[in-house]
Amino acid sequence: MEGKPQTRIQHKNTAAILDAALDVFSSHGFRGATVDQIAKAAGLSKPNLLYYFSSKEVIHRTLLEGLLDTWLAPLHALDSQAEDPLEEILDYARRKLEMSREMPRESRLFANEILQGAPRLEEVLSGHLKPLVDEKAQIISGWVAAGKIAPVHPYHLIFSIWSLTQHYADFDIQVRTVLPENEAADPFPEASHHLETILRKMLAP
């Protein structure tokens, strides 16, 4: 079925398979997931699923490729011509935190792939992500050189933003277990305030 035009029913089933696969892969990782689990979660038989996708590998690759542009969009949006570089970086961090709120399964999908050595993302990391991060790191270095933000290592700043935002998706159970009861239901308002406080103090020129 891959690459062929789809009827309405086929499109519906394909969407159901990918949504179910996102649940299964984000919970069990690639190695722990099975076609049987995905088919059951999608409400389809295994032969029916295999009519649409020939293997677990194809489903996983389709998910990663479909999510990649969305996942990298906030970093792409970091604008070298921004009037206020500090606010531009804060906006990037806010967008990343919002993605952890709205797309926790997607975050865990990528995290599981990285933890397994990124065998299905290696080409993307070296051929797409690295040039993008290099470009944005150069922009940040330019802001530092111009005195618009405080001196900071641009790559480690980006890593810190990833860590401080994706943590809330990748370690959701831990976050909600450890937080006080009145915050556990929705950790994101306080997380946003905390993130902004840290970055403002770190980056204010």
Q: How big is the CA angle at 13 (ends 12 and 15), to the nearest 5 degrees? A: 65
Q: What is the pLDDT of residue 133?
A: 96
Please list the rounded mean pLDDT of every run of 10 residues in the chain (205 residues).
Answer: 71 95 93 95 95 94 86 94 97 97 93 84 81 97 98 98 96 96 95 97 96
Q: What is the pLDDT of residue 3?
A: 54
* pTM, 2 dp: 0.86
Q: What is the pLDDT of residue 4?
A: 61
Instruction: Assign domain 65-203 to its CATH architecture.
Output: Orthogonal Bundle (1.10)
Residue located via tokens 């401080």: 164
The neighbour count for residue 46, using CB atoms within 10 Å, is 13
* C-alpha torsion angle, residues 78, 71, 125, 60 (rounded to 10): -170
Contacts of 74 (CB under 8 A, 6+ apart): 92, 95, 96, 99
Cα–Cα distance for residue pair 98/91, rounded to 1 Å:
10
Cα–Cα distance for residue pair 202/205, rounded to 1 Å:
9
Domain ranges of the chain: 1-54, 65-203
- Separation in Å, CA 131 to CA 61, 100, 127, 128, 138: 21, 24, 7, 6, 11
Fold of 1-54: Arc Repressor Mutant, subunit A (1.10.10)
